[in-house]
Structure 1
Amino acid sequence: MIKRILLGLFIIMTASQTANAALELVITEGVNSARPIGIVPFKWEGPGQPSQDVAAVIASDLQRSGKFSPVATSKMPQTPYTDSDINFSAWNNIGVDSVVTGSISKDSDGQYVIQYHLVDIVRGQLTNGENKALDEKGNLVLSKDYVLFSKRAVVPEKRLREYAHRISDLVYEKLTGEKGAFLTRIAYVVVNNKSNYPYQLRIADYDGYNERLVLRSKQPLMSPAWSPDSNKLAYVSFQTGRSELYMMDIYTGKTEVLTSFPRHNGAPEFSPDGKKLALVLSKTGTLQVYILDLQTRKLQQITNGRTNNTEPFWMPDGQSLVFTSDRGGLPQIYKVNLSNQSTTRLTWQGSQNLGGQVTPDGRFLIMVNRNQEGFNIAKQDLETGAVQVLTKTQLDESPSLAPNGSMVVYSSMFNGQNVLSMVSIDGRFKARLPATNGRVKAPAWSPFL
């Protein structure tokens, strides 16, 4: 029974969706405690309309983080396009302390020129926009210290949405002190039984746009994992009739076999420096964690015994691994020190805990927690042991953390289908990225691009 749970719940990863379709965001839950922010529609200076609504992309990005609640355009007191046009009191009266505004035009080469600003409303109201300071020569000049940044960029049309994510990252980092993760991707496996190649490995922007097929097969594909430079994916393939571990360059399409041992080869996970790969083999009879040196191809066994050990994930410092084991009876999450092999149990709340991942700052463990409600995504404070259940559906699995630790993408059930869902790390915001048909599972969030 345990082996079936291990193989079924946290190794097998399949999905289904029509090719080239964006994963539509459907907001399922948010909270009023998120920080209000004004994302003013950017002024378009030209005929027609730009190919992307830059402000809408920025607003969606910031809302998904759970930290911000963009004000609806219909509820904005004004739509200023420069920092000089902002009525600080009007924005402050509706509880907004930051505003993003800007304009877009086209140059003679047909490229988009974007000018945008992030404005501190509170500081601007205190100074009434007329704060003065001394310049380098000691002269008294007008200071706009309420403008947190003012930038200009020239981008080709096909990269306009990508640059909108870049603006989101800049705003997020300036206001939170943490690096934004909106300019990232997700990888996932799709199963379309009506296709001649039913198993497909795809990548997309983190929000599901710009989906691209990178690999298709008549046999199962599983467990995609990103390299730290975001150029490669490790994955499991059954193209020879049994499981093998492969690595693919997503830009050249070049693939190579990493392991092809008898029985099971699975659960790949790159080390933080990209030089090693944690993986799971069953060549000794039970599932055990190993580390493969990608240069020398030397294999080191990390766990052993008669119990099943799987789902390795590297701690941020690369000196330890967390993994799932049934050594205590039912699956729980453990940590092993790679220098001396000492192992400690991390999870105690809930009858089962699976699929552990650790946030980049090492503070929290994200996992699948089984409780009375079912299998849910949960967060455990590694210092205090406190557990917070982040989701409420009956069968959530395969959590994958954003590289800044702010969001989690995972597989869940909706209307009897597997779909991709997202939850902020504090549980404030939840969204669903439904497929147009079939099941979508096993997302893997890329590192920073």
Structure 2
Amino acid sequence: MKIVSLIKALGLSAALVTGLAYAQLRVEVSGVGSTQIPIAIASFADEGLMPQQITAIIKDDLTRSGYFRLIDVGTVITETSPVNFDSWKSRGAEALVVGSVQKLSDGRFDVRYKLLDTIKSSTLSGFALAAPPANTRLTAHRIADDIYEKLIGVRGAFSTRIAYVTKAGNEFRLEVADADGDGTQVALRSNEPIISPAWSPDGTKVAYVSFEAKKPVIYVQNLITRERTVIANYKGSNSAPAWSPDGSKLALALSRDGLTQIYLVNANGTGLQRLTQTSGIDTEPQFSADGQYIYFLSDRSGGPQIYRMSANGGDAKRVTFGGSYNITPRISPDGKTLAYISRRDGKFQLYSLDLASGQEQRLSDTVKDESPSFSPNGRYIMYATESGRRGSLAVVSVDGRVKQKLTVQAGDIREPTWGPFMK
């Protein structure tokens, strides 16, 4: 397979659909989790003092997850109010969320929250946060994260961020937003394509490929200082950056020596090391969660398939065998599941592979999927797809039951990547 056709198949083409209305993402949810927990969320006392009602944000987060069924409360209950647990049990609620808001003298808000177990008539969790007005949404997301973790047993990811590329006319934008699509910020604007964004493990930087130099060049941008560093600007193609779990290195795909191969470089661009030495095309590297392995795409078997090798290079082992065309590997945070795009019957769709059992599962019902990315808690996968000739983002739970679609009113969205947990 020629490198041009492989790169095109990976979504690295400069030709993207035009037109974007600059707006927040709209989320549509379908499907539910294997079990839904009935939960009542009371309005927090005096939450109207804050720029937004935090209980509405908490409800949206939990509903979007697919694992909760909200029970209408219709009243305000503070964290110090007496609770009739039997009454809530009779209404079918297994958990109750209560709280209050107070404005502090320095302009911040004291947000107090408590999660109650109505079955055991006990307190499951609770805390207080002093939040500036600008952190209203973040505060609500953190409360939703705590509820999710205490009731599901897995850390919530509502307070994390996502990055993606949009196109408006001749302008490409690398944008960063909350996991629910709100709070959009532009990290980079360019008249040339931007592709392959990848979060650093600490969530402060994004690596990406920009064509602003009329060729693909890999940059790392600090999202706080806006400082940019050129990581790879070699002859030929510089593509597909992926961070090591400790943030010290990046795996890259470079064609500087001929056919595209996998290389390793320090996070500042120094110490380039070639890892693969094949007569085929090797690209799309991804580190395993423990940093011991690199998964990558290669056509060494005659068609694009996913392989695994030591992070130091050496012999590679083929991983995917279902279908003749499997690309864009992504590894779950626990290292147990591989997500990828597979072309079968002319459809490009999202699949997952249990690495221990070899069991495959198709997770999407769309036909032009690309760029999967796991949530940091491993419960969801975000990917790009196409609907009505426009790019949009979609999220699916790893069991395939819960589906979300993220769109803007008019426009094209591609290349999603889900950021890490923030400390």
When normalised by structure 2's length, the TM-score is 0.92
**Is the Cα–Cα contact under 8 Å of residues 367 and 399 in structure 1 kept in the other structure?**
yes
From 248, 251, 265, the equivalent of 1:292 is 265
Number of residue pairs the alignment of both structures matches: 419
| Partner Cα separation in structure 2 for residue 272 and residue 348 of structure 1 | 27
Other structure's SS at 2:350 match: strand
Gaps of 5+ in 1: 125-145
| Cα 1:78/1:349, change in 2 over 3 Å | farther
Q: Which residue of 1 aligns with 2:308?
A: 335
- How far is 1:77 from its partner? 8.9
In structure 2, the residue matched to 1:70 is: 69
* Counterpart residue type for residue 38 of structure 2: I
Q: Give the corresponding residue for 2:9.
A: 9
- What is aligned with 2:21? 18
Structure 1 CA distance for aligned equivalents of residues 318 and 232 of structure 2: 29
1:270 — aligned with what?
243
Q: Distance in 1 between matches of 2:12 and 2:50?
A: 42
Q: 1:121 aligns with which of 118, 122, 137?
A: 118
Write the letter of the residue equivalent to 2:289: P
Q: Which residues in structure 2 correspond to 1:189-208 (within 5 Å)?
A: 189-193=165-169, 198-208=171-181
Equivalent position of 1:229 in the other structure:
202
1:51/1:270 Cα in 2 relative to 1: closer, same or farther (>3 Å)? same
Query: Match of 2:28, as an amino acid?
Result: V
Match of 2:125 in 1: 149
Counterpart AA for 2:156: G
**Distance verdict in 2 for CA 1:95–1:344, change over 3 Å:** farther
Q: Which structure has the larger Rg?
A: 1
2-side partners of 1:272 and 1:111: how far apart?
A: 35
Moved more, 225-234 or 264-273: 225-234
Name the structure 1 match of 2:98. 101
Q: State the partner residue of 2:150.
A: 174
Shift of the 373–33 alpha-carbon distance from structure 1 to 2, 3 Å rule, reads farther
Residue type of the alignment partner of 1:163: T
Which residue of structure 1 aligns with residue 44 of structure 2?
A: 43
Q: Which has the higher contact order (CA 8 A, sep 6+)?
A: 1
CA distance in 1, matches of 2:352, 2:282: 21
Report the Cα offset of residue 306 of structure 1.
2.2
Look up the equivalent residue of 2:155 and give its one-letter code.
Answer: K
- Alpha-carbon separation, structure 1, partners of 2:273 and 2:210: 22
Structure 1 residue 90: Cα displacement: 4.3
Q: Does the CA contact (< 8 Å) of 1:373 and 1:392 recur in 2?
A: no
**Aligned match of 1:129:** none
Secondary structure of 1:115's partner?
strand
Aligned to 1:25, the other structure's residue is in SS state strand
CA distance in 2, matches of 1:350, 1:397: 16
Instruction: List runs of 5+ in structure 2 lacking aligned partners.
Output: none
CA contact (8 A) 1:83 1:117 kept: no
From 363, 380, 403, give the equivalent of 1:407. Answer: 380
Shift of 1:445: 1.1
Q: What CA distance in whole angstroms lies between the structure 1 residues aligned with 2:326 and 2:146? A: 35
Partner of 1:238: 211
CA contact (8 A) 1:280 1:287 kept: yes
Q: TM-score, normalised by structure 1?
A: 0.87
Indicate how the Cα distance of structure 1 residues 296 and 116 shifts in structure 2: closer, same or farther if over 3 A, else same: closer
